């Protein structure tokens, strides 16, 4: 019997070609075909099942993770998958695992900071998984402040070795994924000390475990740091603790791409510019922004589909109740998140281009765009991950009580995603870095130094500080130049205000400390402008497919105007717009929601996620929610017996009044 599609009527309402939108979402037809093929491959493989994951004990979960990682590697070899296909396969397996850090951090660290000789030695082994690596930077006492790391690497000229040591409790490496139980090697970040001089933090390749029996090598104490937030979720990852007790490594295991120690113990900068390490940073942050769009789109897909299935109130003459998705309050909360998923996708695609551009510039010794690129990637990592974490929780609430069930997929998705707000740079710390950059840019405006890239608008700061918004009617907010100028004026005026206030302090560092909240808000304004601008740039490309471009225009306007409404205080307080113009923006936003509504289900279908990947009863493609929820309930281990374990010992004595009361 053919399965019912409870979303069929919704899909018939669509005003665009969903297959073409899938290609736009994937980035290209080739990328779509690879993603679609690999997703189905994973979904059809019983080894990759995950429906009982949240019920497993920690040991069972970790063993299941190792099994899936080994099977994934086996399939990659058997099917001779390309690097792109292999990355997609690991993505759709959807379980945090040591290979995430091996391929995502360990290998890029060697590629970005190693010498040509080191790359030739270590990368082939790493790519073949003959060694498994992690990225050991964060310590028990230091995370964001990398320059405060305490682990030492002291050069011994007598033996031509570095001695890696953890001198204090707080110098223990803490958090590196894959470290706890699996990694054989690590790129360890430590203070380089030679001839009594501290040369700051550098990277070293250190073997941790025997390649024969996997036991820790002499001088190394290593283990897992324990359970983390949520059921399943990131508990599949062996985040580790690592202590060094005078561990010796050869001198040539210091990453020597940008600096090195000679045999005599002399510290030398290499011919390769130190700025090359920025390429790795841009790459890592680009992948984090891409992951934000994936996690957000997944949550939005679940919430949108369930909002179309769920009906509450509004029954007329015994007819069906109103679909929850038709309530304006639901649309007001949900549709900006849908628009954000697309916005983050496109800014993530742009960051891929930026990584290529930066790499080419660095190789040509062109460092002119580095400060802007550093600020841009730091800020985008911050705002996309913070917005996504908040949005996943909002999607859970949009699904009502059922969103709290593990089977909804949302609690585990939230638990597995929120670390992104902290790793690779705490989000507030990153915003403060962007804020400092903005203030510096403002201070250089009179010097003739022209702002470039995403900060180019600051070159028109004088105009932006005086311009007045031309909006007179709600539909005026649909004009691209009106939206862009409002966001540019807000960002420029907030940055200039910070710079002026900073100049009032005799000591600038005192000023930065006092104005840190203002600096963070200015950074958010700048980064939101970037996302809006990149969405608009996407619309200026040739986008094929019936109605596809029109839907993206609607989503772009929803994204921009929902941000304007959310941060209305910024726009009004800086004089960019009047309160009346803000009200007109909100009026236009309501009209845009009505245009999104008939296309909502198909817009999330365009993400092309399998039911396996979504891992949600509420987000099923066919919308057959209630029978499946009921079916899932009976799979819980508590329902293996009708009478619960412990009844005779604890419940029956209460019911029969047989509790023995101790006499004092």
* Catalytic positions: 424
Assigned token pair, 643: 């009478």
CA-based Rg of the chain, rounded to a whole angstrom?
27
Q: What is the DSSP string of 534-597?
A: HHHHHHTS---STTHHHHHHHHHHHHHHHHHHHTHHHHHHTTSS-HHHHHHHHHHHHHHHHHHG
Query: Which among 318, 298, 204, 319 has a CA at the least distance from the CA of 260?
Result: 204
Contacts of 512 by beta carbon, 8 Å cutoff, 6+ apart: 432, 436, 502, 519
Buried b (16+ CB within 10 A) or exposed e, 405-418: bbbbbbbbbbbbbb
**Distance spanning both ends of the chain, measured CA to CA:** 69
Contact of 124 with 156, CB cutoff 8 Å: no
Contact of 484 with 532, CB cutoff 8 Å: yes
Contacts of 570 by beta carbon, 8 Å cutoff, 6+ apart: 490, 494, 521, 525, 576
Q: What is the DSSP string of 111-152?
A: HHHS-HHHHHHHHHHHHTTSS-EEEE--BSS-SS-GGG---E
- C-alpha span between 241 and 222 (Å, rounded): 6
Query: Which among 419, 427, 431, 454 has a CA at the least distance from the CA of 519?
Result: 431
Contact of 197 with 267, CB cutoff 8 Å: yes
Contact of 619 with 301, CB cutoff 8 Å: yes
- C-alpha span between 465 and 447 (Å, rounded): 19
Total Cβ atoms within 10 A of residue 440:
13
Contacts of 616 by beta carbon, 8 Å cutoff, 6+ apart: 302, 407, 408, 409, 410
Contact of 555 with 538, CB cutoff 8 Å: no
Total Cβ atoms within 10 A of residue 2:
4
Helix, strand, coil distribution of the chain in percent, nearest 5: 60, 10, 30
């Amino acid at each position: 019997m053919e399965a019912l599609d409870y979303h069929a009527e919704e899909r018939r309402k669509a005003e665009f070609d969903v297959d073409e939108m899938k290609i736009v979402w994937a980035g290209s037809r080739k990328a779509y075909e690879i993603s679609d093929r690999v997703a189905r491959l994973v979904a059809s493989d019983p080894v990759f099942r995950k429906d009982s994951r949240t019920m497993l004990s920690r040991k069972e979960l970790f063993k299941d993770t190792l099994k899936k990682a080994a099977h994934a590697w086996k399939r990659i070899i058997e099917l001779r998958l390309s690097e792109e296909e292999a990355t997609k396969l690991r993505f759709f397996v959807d379980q945090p695992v040591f290979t995430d850090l091996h391929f995502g951090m360990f290998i890029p660290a060697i590629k970005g900071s190693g010498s040509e000789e080191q790359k030739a030695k270590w990368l082939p082994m790493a790519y073949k998984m003959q060694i498994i690596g992690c990225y050991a930077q964060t310590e028990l006492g230091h995370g964001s402040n990398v320059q405060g790391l305490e682990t030492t690497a002291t050069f011994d000229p007598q033996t031509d070795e570095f001695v890696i040591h953890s001198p204090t409790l707080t110098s223990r490496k803490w958090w590196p994924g894959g470290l706890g139980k699996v990694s054989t090697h690590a790129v360890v970040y430590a203070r380089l000390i030679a001839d009594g001089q501290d040369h700051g933090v550098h990277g070293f390749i250190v073997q941790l475990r025997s390649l024969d029996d996997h036991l820790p090598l002499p001088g190394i104490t290593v283990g897992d740091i324990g359970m983390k937030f949520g059921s399943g979720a990131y508990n599949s990852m062996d985040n580790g603790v690592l202590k060094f007790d005078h561990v010796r490594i050869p001198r040539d295991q210091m990453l020597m791409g940008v600096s090195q120690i000679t045999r005599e113990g002399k510290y030398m900068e290499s011919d390769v510019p130190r700025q090359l390490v920025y390429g790795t940073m841009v790459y890592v942050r680009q992948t984090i922004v891409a992951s934000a769009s994936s996690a957000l789109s997944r949550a939005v897909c679940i919430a949108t589909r369930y909002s179309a299935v769920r009906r509450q109130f509004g029954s007329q003459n015994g007819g069906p109740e109103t679909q929850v998705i038709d309530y304006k309050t639901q649309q007001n909360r949900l549709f900006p998140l849908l628009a954000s998923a697309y916005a983050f996708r496109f800014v993530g695609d742009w960051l891929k281009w930026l990584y290529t551009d930066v790499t080419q510039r660095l190789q040509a010794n062109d460092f002119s765009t580095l400060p802007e690129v550093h600020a841009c990637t730091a800020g985008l990592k911050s705002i996309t991950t913070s917005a996504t974490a908040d949005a996943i929780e909002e999607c859970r609430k949009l699904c009502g009580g059922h969103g709290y069930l593990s089977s909804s997929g949302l609690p585990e998705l939230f638990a597995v995603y929120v670390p992104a707000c902290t790793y690779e740079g705490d989000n507030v710390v990153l915003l403060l870095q962007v804020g400092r950059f903005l203030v510096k840019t403002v201070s250089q405006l009179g010097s003739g130094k022209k702002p470039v890239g995403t900060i180019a608008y600051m070159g028109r700061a004088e105009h932006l500080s005086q311009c007045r918004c031309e909006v007179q009617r709600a539909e005026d907010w649909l004009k691209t130049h009106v939206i862009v100028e409002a966001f540019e004026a807000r960002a420029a005026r907030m940055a200039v205000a910070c710079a002026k206030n900073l100049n009032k302090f005799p000591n600038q560092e005192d000023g930065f400390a006092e104005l840190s909240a203002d600096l963070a808000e200015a950074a958010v304004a700048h980064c939101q402008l970037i996302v809006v601008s990149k969405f608009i740039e996407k619309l200026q490309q040739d986008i094929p497919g019936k109605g596809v471009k029109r839907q993206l225009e609607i989503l772009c306007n929803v994204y921009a105007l929902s941000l304007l409404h959310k941060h209305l205080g910024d726009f009004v307080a800086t004089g960019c717009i009047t309160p009346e113009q803000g009200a007109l923006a909100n009026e236009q936003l309501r009209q845009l929601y009505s245009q999104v509504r008939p296309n909502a289900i198909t817009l999330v279908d365009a993400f092309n996620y399998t039911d396996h990947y979504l891992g949600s009863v509420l987000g099923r493609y066919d919308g057959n929610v209630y029978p499946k929820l009921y079916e899932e309930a009976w799979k819980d281990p508590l329902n293996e017996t009708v009478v619960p374990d412990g009844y005779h010992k604890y419940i029956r004595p209460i019911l029969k009044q047989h509790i023995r009361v101790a006499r004092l």
